[in-house]
Amino acid sequence: MIFRFAAAIGILTLAVPAFAADQVEKAPPTGAYKKVSELVKLPDFLPGLGQLYVDPKALPAGPFLAYDREGRLVSTVYMLPIDDLANKDKRFDDLAAPGGKVDHVDVYFNAGHPGVEKPHAHVVLWHVPKADETRVAAK
């Protein structure tokens, strides 16, 4: 189910152009985005994801914008609680996809962290090729 959902998001993202209103290519993004590590007590740079920004009103699903150590956008991340994905009455419609072109998508389980305290799925829309995921790897 999670994977069908992720595939739908990927298709949706490919079809929907980036929101022109906000500059998101370089950190910090403009608009309502805030650095996640300033909203909750999390490391500023998360190995495997990077430096995250989110519009607090979009929590918990996101989108979270993820940047490498040079401030370049690498992915857009959604965090979808497992309970919600298993709830037939819960939907995630019209999630913003401001990052533009998607190269590939990763979906995996996350046990939780400050800000999204329950087990959830990370849906990562990579805007860079697979080989460039190392830009957000642990040092």
Partner 1 sequence: MRPSRRHVLQIGGGVLAGLVWPRPAFAAEPVEILMGGKADGSHVWFDPVGLHVEPGRTIRWINLDPGNSHTATAYHPKNFERPLRIPERAEPWNSDYLLPDESFSVTLPVEGVYDFFCVPHEHAGMVGRIIVGRPNAPSGGPAAQALPDLALRAFPSIDEIMQRGIIRRT
CB of 40 to partner 1, least distance (A): 8
Residue 72 identity (one-letter amino acid): R
Nearest-angstrom CA–CA distance, 124 and 103: 11
Q: Which of 26, 38, 43, 101 binds partner 1 (CB under 8 A)?
A: 43
3-state secondary structure of 126: strand
Residue closer to partner 1 (CB basis): 21 or 138: 138
Residue closer to partner 1 (CB basis): 14 or 59: 59
Nearest-angstrom CA–CA distance, 123 and 75: 10
The CA–CA distances, whole Å, from 96 to 26, 54, 114 equal 18, 11, 22
**With contact defined as beta carbons under 8 Å apart, do 56 and 38 qualify?**
no
Q: Which of 47, 56, 86, 101 binds partner 1 (CB under 8 A)?
A: 47
Which run of H or E residues covers position 6? helix 2-15
Provide the mask over 100-129, with x wherever binding to partner 1 is found by CB under 8 A and - wherever it is not. Answer: --------xxxxxxx--xxx--x-------
3-state secondary structure of 135: helix
Q: Which of 48, 56, 90, 134 binds partner 1 (CB under 8 A)?
A: 48
Q: Does 3 bind partner 1 (CB under 8 A)?
A: no
Would you tell me which residues interact with partner 1 (CB under 8 A)? 40-43, 46-49, 108-114, 117-119, 122, 138
